[in-house]
Structure 1
Amino acid sequence: MIEKNMTTRIYPIKIIPQYITFSGDYRATQSALMLASLAKGKTILRNAGTGVDTGRTIAFLQKLGVSLTRNESDIIVEGGDGINIPDDGALEYKGGVFTLSLILGMLAGMKRSCSLQYSELVNQDIVDSITGILNANGIDIFHEADSRMIIFRTGTEFPIEIKIMSSLSYLKNCLLMFGLVSGRSILIREIKVTDDTFQNYFDRFNCRIEIQRPKPVIKQDPVDPRKKIRTTGVDYKQEIKLAASSTLRKAEIELPPDSDMISALMTLAVLNKKSIKLENIPLDRVRTKFNNYLKGCGIEPTISERRTIGELPFGTVSLKGAELKVRKTAGEQASALIEDIPFMAVMASLGPGTSIIRGVREFSEWGIDPFNEIAENLEKVNAKCGILEDGLVIEGTNELAGADFGPFINPKVALAFFVMAMSGQGWSSFDNFDLISDHYPDFIELVQENAKSKVISRD
């Protein structure tokens, strides 16, 4: 497991730093890097993410023979010349599960025997789930959970057609990458619409994915013929098709600012009841859902200066300081916000009343025991947190006291509690703060340089 680093003191922030910009979004950077490695010609990725996983992914692809050059905020990828497995067939990737799922799809599609050692930061259950489903679809892959080793043998010769029920996008992304590398057609029907970052980047590399969402129609209620019901007639939300022998072309891509750090800055303003204006941020599906969640909590985000950059909507989001209201979130709304649960949990801890987050069972596989990590650290500020079979119930407190936070395993959970520590009364200690500075260096820099007072002190 992760060794404890020196303890860091976090002091209450006095002025919310104004957002300027962040480096490239984590998921966007990882998606673009992996796709660029398969695209013929020179791809230029501008404003690439600066977190530690960017370097890990570059190093992994270089071991496979991909030519990559990093120059300040840009990455130049010379792809499309083939992926080469080392002679010993032994590979290692120590980054997060988002990229690991793409690597699984890539290696499974190559029809070459090899092994992959993965990180202790990745939940073994999600890897077990993905490899099990790949096996069921004719892909010869074996997972040794105890040693965190994945063994690849041969891929399937047949198209894949599958229905996915998970709220997480990892299996979908893995299959799309498998289809690209193997040349097989892929048909995915999602019961829940999951994060679409990876699939959206196919279009940026001139590769078309067909996405269809069933349209609802009005029909007679089979239970009560006097009534009409609105139904799609199917049990899935969207259908995603990747044609056989799909290929990618080189591209020049400006990556959007990091979504996690934007959520963290918004949460910091909300907890401190301060107003903030964030200019030129992406208004994608994740940001829209988070903004709608804030509305339900009594915060009224306003959006202005809308525009489109490279087919992605951007705009200015303004928040006004206000008292938080309790919120009950469940079902499709909760599953759509699964990536933002750490920020939702820390916001729920401030103020009287009970907030409930349900319908997110898969969040337990999102990281290493994230429900317990959140609950244990909320208890340290006298907020009561109960773990349900599919979520959390949180009874808030009127004042966030300083506390001894950590140690943490999940980077985004650590980021959320760093935000909480800056919003408390009195200083807090933070164990394993390097986890945040490694994954979110831009956020640390923004806070240190613009907060007008000492916020972080290393002992």
Structure 2
Amino acid sequence: MTYAPATPLRLVASGPLSGRVRVPGDKSISHRSLMLSAVAVGTSRVEGLLEGEDVLATAQAMRAMGASIVRDDDGLWTIDGVGVGGLLQPETALDMGNSGTSTRLLMGLVASHAVTATFTGDASLSKRPMGRVIDPLSKMGAEFTPSPGGRLPLMVRGIVPAVPIEYRLPVASAQVKSAVLLAGLNAPGITRVIEPVPTRDHSERMLRGFGAELMVEEIGGERVISITGEAELKPQHIVVPGDPSSAAFPVVAALIVPGSEIVVENVGLNPTRGGLYQVLLAMGGDIVFENERIVGGEPVADLRVRASSLDGIEPDPAIVPSMVDEFPILFVACALAHGRSVLRGLEELRVKESDRITVMADGLRAIGARVEEIEDGLIIDGTGGEKLTGGTAVATHLDHRIAMSFAVASLASREPVAVDDRAPIATSFPIFVPMMESLGVESRDAVTA
């Protein structure tokens, strides 16, 4: 596999940010809408799909297994599904690019179908362990041939009929939960997943919407999700709300650049995804939820954000699953806050696209933040609103959220921060740079500041 040369990026704010923007569709919902539409019986339509590289990898994989997926000129996606149990043998390996969500969820879908699929990915994805998905799916009868360490390239040999299981998640993970539920779609009987700590519930909401027989109970303080297999899914028309993880970047940018006021429209605020906004409000962030409404079963609002004096915080680790992807940009906000922030319970960040704890700690120190790395998180002593030093280049390690976090940090630095490669941003937020420019930010390609 060949890669294009790195294209560095730095963002500069010459004044306050202002304007109204929309972020791309929610990545989690986009992935799931394609997968479930592809195994429904009939034609589904999806509006607002995130057209980043990760989601396009999911679309291509579902095409390879028999679904017809077409995008029209107006951005409406039409999917003709093959039905649960109807996936076809892919002729070549499924290239997942950088997408861990695509890989783990599709491993679950394939596990209960009579197909054998090989999953490959880029250098970053190939470092990520898949054992936590392999374990429950193996209990259902699927067979796996992974690379050393349970990594990609990896071959899955599905089984029909798969064995329904009851599986208690050892670590809070929406991806593992979703993989087991998707495998349960074609397993005769009832498959159960027990969540000691709730995680994002897009899979449950969408499975119900497609007509799956799914029940969620609270038993002994735990969430028990049960799905009845050999399901017949009905086609749907899905409107994808704006991704709250993507919205986090312009929101934090507006909070830390003095005098800023922006509106981010149509942001999904599923309660299992809204932890960052609770934390920012608790830090003193001026964020107002306007025009609150329900779209496609998901709560949505417009966010009015004004520059704010932020205070350090020590959030309860129980909030981590509802904002696990947003911690890199929260670290930036904490670096500029008044006082100390103690962020714990973040072990999951070490097995993301990069080790986000170490990579963010190293980068923040390089641009003048006071950061102590601990085993499960970071301790950050904020500048009290003073700008960071900046003036250096930071490494993204092919991680889109690292790249965008340091691009935002550059806006509150005395000298611009050079992000070593803007290319990974396209995996989840292909319009990030032009959107920031529309708010008054200047972007430059440069290796150093």
TM norm structure 2: 0.90
Which deviations, in whole Å up to 9, do the C-alpha atoms of 1:429-452 show, x marking residues without a partner? 22111112453122222122341x
Residue 53 (str. 1) matches residue 54 (str. 2): yes
Question: 1:361 aligned to 2:377?
Answer: no
Cα pair distance change 1:137/1:54, threshold 3 Å: closer
Shift of 1:85: 0.9
Q: Which residue of 2 aligns with 1:404?
A: 393
1:433 to 422, 435, 449: 422
Partner deviation per Cα, 1:313-358 (whole Å, 9 max, x = no partner): 2233333322110101232123432121111111111134221111
Quote the offset at 1:154 in angstroms. Answer: 4.4
5+ residue gaps, structure 2, are none
Give the equivalent residue in structure 1 for 2:15: 14
The alignment-based identity, stated in percent, is: 19
Other-structure match for 1:222:
none
- CA spacing shift, 1:78–1:371, aligned 2, 3 Å: same
Q: 1:244 maps to what in 2?
A: 229
Contact 2:120 2:154 in 1 (8 A): yes
2: CA distance, partners of 1:211 / 1:448? 43
Contact persistence 2:67–2:81 (CA under 8 A): yes
Aligned match for 1:258, one of 243, 248, 256: 243
How far off is 1:252 after superposition? Answer: 1.0
**What's 2:413 paired with?**
424
Q: Is the 8 A contact 1:119 1:148 kept in 2?
A: no
Q: Secondary structure at the match of 1:385?
A: strand
SS in 2 for 1:194: coil
Q: How many residues align?
A: 437
Does the alignment pair 1:447 with 2:449? no
Q: Paired residue for 1:225?
A: none
- Of 345, 348, 364, the residue aligned with 2:334 is 348
Native 8 Å contact 2:145 2:155 kept in 1 = yes
The verdict on how the C-alpha distance between 1:61 and 1:351 changes in structure 2, with shifts beyond 3 A counting, is same
**Alignment match, 1:27:** 28
| Larger CA Rg, structure 1 vs 2 | 1
CA contact (8 A) 2:68 2:80 kept: yes
**Equivalent position to 1:75, from 62, 74, 77:** 77
Q: How has the CA–CA distance of structure 1 residues 457 and 109 changed in structure 2, closer, same or farther, with 3 Å as cutoff?
A: same
> What stretches of structure 1 of length at least 5 have no aligned partner?
215-233
What is the rounded CA distance, in whole Å, between the counterparts of 1:350 and 1:6 in structure 2?
27
Q: 2:232 and 2:349 mapped to 1: Cα distance?
A: 33
Residue in structure 1 matched with residue 169 of structure 2 by the alignment? 164
Other-structure match for 2:195: 190
1:43 shift after superposition: 0.7
Residue 148 of structure 1: which of 152, 157, 161 is its match?
152
* Counterpart contact for 2:210–2:234, Cα < 8 Å: yes
Conservation of the 8 A alpha-carbon contact between 1:134 and 1:141: no
- The letter for the 1-side match of 2:283 is C
Residues 103-130 of structure 1, C-alpha deviations (whole Å, 9 max, x = no match) = 1012211133343223332264530222
Please give the secondary structure, in 1, of the residue aligned with 2:294: strand
Deviation of 1:182 after TM superposition, in Å, equals: 3.8
Correspondence for 1:271: 256
Q: Distance in 1 between matches of 2:227 and 2:445?
A: 50
Q: How far did 1:278 drift?
A: 3.2
What are the Cα deviations for residues 400-429 of structure 1, in whole angstroms up to 9, with x where unaligned?
Answer: 223312243211121111111123223232
Deviations 1:192-213 (CA, angstroms, capped at 9, x unpaired): 1012122221123222421112
Counterpart residue identity of residue 35, structure 2: M
In the alignment, the residues of structure 1 paired with residue 296 and residue 262 of structure 2 have an alpha-carbon distance, to the nearest angstrom, of: 26
Secondary structure, counterpart of 2:129 in structure 1: helix
Which residue is equivalent to 2:404?
Answer: 415
- Matched residue type, 1:331: P
* TM-score, reference length from structure 1: 0.88
1:118 to 114, 118, 121: 121
CA RMSD of aligned residues (A): 2.4
Deviation at 1:138, TM superposition (A): 3.7
Q: Which moved more, 1:275-284 or 1:292-301?
A: 275-284
**Which stretch has the larger CA shift, 29-38 or 314-323?**
314-323
Using a 3 Å threshold, how does the CA distance of structure 1 residues 140 and 251 change in structure 2: closer, same or farther? same
User: Residue 368 of structure 1: CA displacement?
Assistant: 2.2
Q: Is the 8 A contact 1:209 1:242 kept in 2?
A: yes
